[in-house]
Structure 1
Amino acid sequence: MAKVFIIGQDFDDAGALADLLTRRRVDSIVIDGLGAPDTNPGKGNTLVCTAAAEQAAGGQSGLVTGARQLGITQLVIVAPGEDFSVEAELGGRMQRVTLPLRGEAQPPLYTPSLLALSDLIATPHGGMVAAAASTSALIDLAARVAQSDVTVFINGPTGSGKEVLSRLIHDRSPRAGKPFVAVNCAAIPENMLEAMLFGHEKGAFTGASTANRGIFRAADGGTLLLDEISEMPLGLQAKLLRVLQEKKVTPLGSQKEESVNIRVIATSNRDMLTEMQAGNFREDLYYRLNVFPLATEALAVRPDDIPALAVAMIRRHVGETAPLPLLSDDAMAVLRDYQWPGNVRELENVVQRALVLRTGNKVCVNDIMLTTQTAILPGMIPTAAMAARAA
């Protein structure tokens, strides 16, 4: 697995950066300098250092030469500046980052600029955005179950990251190079879901002008995500149970069974025990799916994740432009204190609105609009007071 090496020379936030990366389960280590090669260099490693460490290594050429022994393919050079900005060199293999200095009163773990730097470094290594201890523990558990081939059932509120966690399991599994196919059981009409899952032959029903492999066979060798499976009709649940037991599907209009080799992950936002008691979900199917249960939490109960998620969203929506707008301390406080009934999806909406409303290169508290409105009228400027009343 690729590592992130951080040269601690003249970099006061090296430890805090390593901690943030560790919370995202990116393997990171603080080193004194470019000395002996790592015992297991691997491939795809990242090196982070200051401009002063670069000069100590003999400039860019010396740093590149010394980095090769660590299996480095990506360099990140950090220098102090007023704004957070990124400049790519060496065809994108080196990135020079200006990092605003933090004040003594700011906790280094949650400094917006440091969160942005950790997201820049961690994103190529994959995984979930995380800063809360509970989310880090969930990532650990998901990474462990990924190494086996058992069926996983993920339960949690809508918009709390169930599909992201499913992708992480796939990406950390031996099936990572094979297809990851997701189907939302709640979004497909009942009369189409069976044909989409199991496939069909030409002429199997009106409108079937061509044959279709179906989602199960499309995911062969990889992972199939059955999102919101609690919305699946009871009649189809029985057929799904048989497929899971036999590892074979029979396309509509065919008499021939087709073997499939897939790993199934199912998700739901409902209380499954209540659904079974109400007769809405088959008990035998639930226990077939619930081999390894995982649970995602509502955003409001993991406030440490909120600044990290907000910064990652800002980076994604702004793109690789320089400088990057950062959250002010008071804006971050408003985001952390809100209850987020819409979870991560609501947070992303708020971030996008704030990017539209901001003036200058900082997202301030007046840019945070938490009220739900159908339109913003001319002259309306959201304020912290409006946000507080809405909460």
Structure 2
Amino acid sequence: MKVNVKIAGASYNGVPSVLIPLQAGGTATFCEVSDTTATAADVATGKKFYTAAGELATGTKPASTGTDISDATATAADILAGKTAYVNGGKVTGTMTGGDVIVQSADTWGIQVTQTAHQTITATPKFTTVEENGKYRSNFSADASISANTGYSPGTIKKGTDSVNHMITVTASAAEEIAGMVEDGWAKVYEDGASFYSDDAYTTELSALSGDILVAGMKSGDVPIHNSHLSSNKALTKFKNRFRTSAGNSLLSGCTSLTSVDLGNLTSAGDSLLYSCTSLTSVDLGNLTSAGNSLLYGCTSLTSVDLGNLTSAGNFLLYGCTSLTSVDLGNLTSAGNFLLYGCTKLQSCTIHSTTPPTISGTGSAINRTCVLYVPTGCVDAYKANSAINRLFGGRIKEIGS
């Protein structure tokens, strides 16, 4: 600090420092430091200074790690209302409210999705560029969609803003079970994509399911009931298909305890749909138009079957149905080998096609008293068909006769 001094009898006021010649040559600077208030903790590490007592000391304060904010351009309108930030050396309180969140980078905000049972919510970030007063900035929002497991309505999307945690929130009202998709007394079994699921647990193996099974499925006919999922299930007793119109191979093959099945919605089926279901007594296939091989092969207890819309079938359609007494084969136009082979109790068979179907080598071993009934005026044409005439031994009559 500046002081008043007297040198060689002369007085000097407000002198900041004094240069005194040294005996060895040169000069030394002397000044008053009694007003020094800094301590070592106030001075950068490694830097020297004099204390108020005139002692030389070394600073210990760590170097500053602050960020230069002199180039910040955000204004109060760019910052959420109530939030604060330092911009170009000053503290700014935000005024932005409502609408999409306005951010300067994709890392500033995120999306938080909360979904409930039976629903799937997908949310993706969306950025749009906005110009205001010659400046550009990004509005951040979320595009969201929702879907639900088969048998449930998905709920309604709800979006909000969590300004504390910097999140766009995406939720939905709860999924609700669709009325009529499940019947009382039937196990809840749905089919979705490549899997069945039961009691809300997805599985591709249903061999452990027992009792009465209802496949509700999606209300769509373009995706078939999947192959073999219930094949050889010895505990399955009843099966009802609600919506599916096509079935893959071996769906219920070998289900030897199956006593009742409703497949009335099916229009097409692959191979071995009900192969060797030996306890099955009746089956509704009234809308089936095409079938693969071995549709009802070995259903030895079957006494009634509705095939009233059938037009084509593969080999072994009713092979070994030893309890069947009558069958309606609809408008059959073609069938493979062994159509009725082993149906030893069959008394009547009806075909509604006015043109005799093309049948491969049908074999014999059906009841020799079985009569084929055909449309009026078509008896001669059917008798002229060698395969059909051989199968029924000429026992061909008009429907209603």
- TM-score when normalising by structure 2: 0.20
Structure richer in strand, relative to its length: 2
Q: Considering Cα pairs closer than 8 Å and 6+ residues apart, tell me whether 1 or 2 has the greater RCO.
A: 1
- TM-score when normalising by structure 1: 0.21
Structure richer in helix, relative to its length: 1
Structure (1 or 2) with the larger CA radius of gyration? 2
